[in-house]
């Protein structure tokens, strides 16, 4: 109130800042994301991390509203990291970022607790819109992902065979179908050849197949690999 009894009306609305943490092992990509976020009036960079371990340590000490989380991290994959974040910080919004197409990981990410899924090829405006949407408590899904989610509801017998795989098994399937050897797969996933063999056995069992040629044919027919 003024001395004359008039109510003061703010000249502008207060901007509520959304604090963002970026988790990606590629420093150049982080720089680009930071630039996009820094130019947005309602977003604020709260921190960045290059590994899953660093991300969890950062989240324990740094207030944050939205995490941009890469699917592929050197020490622990993004889906597993997402589950740990959801367990320790259940109210935190996590937007998954990936170089992989939506049909490969989006459903897995959303079912694991992600608030949205976005490919790294998306336009800056789409990223900002996604951050705004998930920070407001809504899910961010593209029309393609929404359709896939709708199709996934119902009888489990109708789902594609590879949807039964865990994230690590799915990664192994992709690499097998790409022609990688057991040793190469182990090196790329930072696991032993013995563990790769265990994943392969589980994949064959879950997908009711007998050898790598069947897996490769399936992967090509379902556009998992080119």
- Position 13 confidence tier, pLDDT thresholds 50, 70, 90: low
Distance CA 34, CA 47 (A): 9
212, part of any domain: yes
Whether the pLDDT of residue 9 is over 70: the answer is: no
Which pTM was predicted? 0.69
Residue of 7 and 117 predicted with greater confidence: 117
For 49, the token pair is 């991390």
- Position 148 confidence tier, pLDDT thresholds 50, 70, 90: low
Please compute the mean of the pLDDT values over residues 122-131 and round it to a whole number.
Answer: 91
7, part of any domain: no
For 133, the token pair is 């949407």
> Could you tell me the CATH number of the domain that includes residue 25?
3.40.50.2300
Give pLDDT, residue 159.
63
Phi, psi of 149 (to 5 degrees): -65, -45
**Range of weakest confidence among 95-109, 122-136, 152-166, 186-200:** 152-166
CA 154 to chain centre: 24
For 110, the token pair is 């959303």
- Per the DSSP assignment, residues forming a β-bridge with 153 are none
Exposure string over 114-144, b if 16+ CB within 10 A, otherwise e = bbbbbbbeeeeeebbebbbbbbeeebbbbee
Q: Is 163 found in the same domain as 140?
A: no
Q: Is 213 found in the same domain as 111?
A: no
Q: Please check whether residue 68 is in contact with residue 22, taking contact to mean a CB–CB distance below 8 angstroms.
A: yes
Q: Which residues contact 101 (CB under 8 A, 6 or more apart)?
A: 119
Q: What is the per-residue pLDDT across 64-74, written as a single tens digit (0 to 9) for each? A: 999 999 988 88
Distance CA 154, CA 206 (A): 19
Q: Is 210 found in the same domain as 135?
A: no
Count up the domains in the chain and report the number: 2
What residue numbers bound the domain in which 199 lies?
A: 156-221
């Amino acid at each position: 109130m003024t001395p004359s009894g008039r109510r003061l009306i703010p000249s502008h609305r207060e901007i509520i800042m959304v604090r963002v943490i970026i988790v990606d092992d590629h420093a150049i990509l982080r720089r680009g994301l930071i630039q996009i976020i820094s130019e947005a009036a309602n977003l604020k960079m709260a921190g960045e991390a290059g590994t899953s371990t660093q991300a969890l340590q950062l989240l324990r000490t740094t207030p944050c509203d939205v995490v941009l989380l890469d699917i592929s991290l050197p020490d622990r994959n993004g889906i597993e990291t997402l589950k740990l974040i959801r367990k320790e910080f259940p109210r935190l919004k996590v937007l998954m970022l990936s170089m992989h197409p939506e049909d490969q990981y989006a459903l897995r990410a959303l079912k694991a607790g992600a608030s949205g899924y976005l490919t790294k090829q998306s336009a800056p405006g789409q990223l900002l819109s996604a951050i705004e949407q998930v920070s407001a408590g809504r899910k961010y899904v593209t029309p393609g992902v929404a359709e896939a989610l709708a199709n996934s509801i119902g009888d489990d017998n109708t789902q594609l065979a590879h949807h039964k795989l865990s994230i690590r098994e799915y990664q192994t399937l992709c690499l097998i179908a790409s022609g990688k050897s057991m040793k190469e797969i182990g090196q790329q996933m930072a696991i032993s050849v013995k563990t790769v063999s265990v994943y392969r056995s589980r994949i064959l069992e879950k997908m009711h197949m007998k050898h790598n040629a069947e897996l490769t044919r399936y992967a090509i027919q379902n556009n998992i690999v080119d």
